[in-house]
Amino acid sequence: MSNTTGIKEVARRAGVSIGTVSNVLNRPELVASSTRQRVLDAITELGYVRNDSARQLRAGHSRQIALVVLDVTNPFFTDVVRGAEAAAEEHGVMVVVCNSGEDAGREQRHLDLLEEQRVRGVLITPVDESPNSRLELLIQRGTPVVLVDRGSGRHSRCSVAVDDLLGGRLAGEHLVEQGHERITFVGGPATVTQVRDRHAGIVEAVQGRAELSVVSTANLTVAAGRAAAAEIDDATAVFCANDLVALGVLQGLTQRGIRVPQDVAIVGYDDIEFAAAAAVPLSSVRQPREQLGRTATALLLEEIEDDGRHEHRHVVFQPELIVRESSGRPRTRRPRRIGR
């Protein structure tokens, strides 16, 4: 809190005016090099640090963009964060990450604060997608917003998403091809579009070629999956709305002594890193996670650029099914003692 040195001190020390110091900082080419050097010296000697509040106040807006994620704890989102950071960095913009934790109240508070801070723009996966008045207000008042992983028919904003219907279909077709006739879909709540779409996708793919049942979960976490595993019954394959859920199901089934994939196949969704790293590597519908973050950021920066007129765009990525052991032909194991 001792930071008491402003541009004014620097100016005095260098024997120049305030305006000159500002010029050294912002348009150094306008300042004679000797003067510039004197100012620069003064700056380091005094340990001067620019005051961003004052800058922003003058500028009318900050130089950051925000990314509001549903759950920092979900590796899917942390990968999105990485993508967004990478893209932002290329433009010299900083990303501040906010975690709503699937709590509408927290989301609201974050948005309040972000608006007070006059962030340049917001990337967000909203907690609920029903007419979200807070978010709507933000947009209406002029803050660029890009929806992440939420297809939006609305034309009032850009969005980046993955075709979840197709994803579900891919999983369904794969399982049917593998000869499964009794499949269970695990996920919830159904209020989440992703869950609905992925389910719809598999329904469409299966089309009478297999029986499809549903085990509904309260959220998309490992714990929920573990709990759901107890209810899985009379199925030879499970399609989970999420890799976290899939990992939970895998664990739950294993604990029941049910072998994966010999007894039951599992297909997850997202293809988070831990899917491949599971001891029974998980088949999963891959979403281009980093790409999602990158593109969303690019769209946002574009909108910020186009200040006035801007054509909102909706980018939809195609998911890709990654088949691994959990749903592939059981591979031959050659157990052997470690060491040669």
Q: By the criterion CB under 7 A, which residues form the site for DNA?
A: 4, 6-8, 15-23, 25-26, 30-32, 34-36, 48, 50-51, 54-55, 57-60
Q: How far is the CB of 136 from a copy of itself (least distance, A)?
A: 12
What kind and span of H or E run contains 247?
helix 243-255
- CA 266 to CA 332: how far, in whole Å? 18
Q: Which two tokens stand for residue 15?
A: 């024997």
The listed partner (DNA, a copy of itself, none) that binds 216, CB under 5 to 8 Å by sort, is none
CB of 274 to DNA, least distance (A): 44
Based on CB atoms, which residue is closest to a copy of itself, 62 or 159? 62
CB of 68 to DNA, least distance (A): 23
Specify the DSSP element, H or E, that contains 107. helix 104-116
Contact 224, 245 (CB under 8 A): yes
- Nearest partner of 286 among 249, 317, 331, judged by Cα: 317
Q: Which does 78 bind (CB under 5 to 8 A by kind): a copy of itself, DNA, none?
A: a copy of itself
Rank residues 20 and 326 by Cβ distance to DNA and give the closer one.
20
- Is the CB of 89 or the CB of 177 nearer to a copy of itself? 89
Minimum CB distance to DNA smaller for 29 or for 234: 29
Q: Binding partner of residue 18 among DNA, a copy of itself, none, CB under 5 to 8 Å per kind?
A: DNA
Q: Considering beta carbons, is residue 33 or 262 the nearer one to DNA?
A: 33
Cα distance between residue 246 and residue 261, in whole Å = 13
Q: What distance in Å separates the CA atoms of residue 292 and residue 77, rounded to the nearest whole number?
A: 10
Q: With beta carbons less than 8 A apart as the criterion, state whether 198 and 246 touch.
A: no
Q: Which partner from the list DNA, a copy of itself, none does 44 bind, CB cut-off 5 to 8 Å by kind?
A: none
Binds 130: which of DNA, a copy of itself, none (CB < 5-8 Å by kind):
none
- Residue 315: name the closest of 336, 338, 333, 292 by CA: 292
CB of 330 to a copy of itself, least distance (A): 13
**Upper half-sphere CA count for residue 207 (Cβ side, 13 Å):** 6
Q: How far is the CB of 41 from a copy of itself (least distance, A)?
A: 17
311 binds, among a copy of itself, DNA, none (CB under 5 to 8 A by kind): none
Measure the CA angle with vertex 203, ends 197 and 208; round to 5°: 170
Q: Which is nearer to a copy of itself, 195 or 275 (CB)?
A: 275
Q: Which of 319, 184, 326, 213 is nearest to 259 (CA)?
A: 326
Q: DSSP state, 47?
A: T
Minimum CB distance to a copy of itself smaller for 13 or for 196: 13
Using CB distances below 5 to 8 A depending on partner kind, what does residue 34 bind out of a copy of itself, DNA, none?
Answer: DNA
Give min distance, CB of 308 to DNA, in A.
18
Burial 101-122 (b: 16+ CB within 10 A, else e): ebeeeebbebbeebbeeebbbb
In the complex, what is the shortest distance from the CB of residue 42 to DNA, in angstroms, rounded to a whole number?
Answer: 12
Q: Phi and psi at residue 330, in whole multiples of 5°?
A: -50, 130
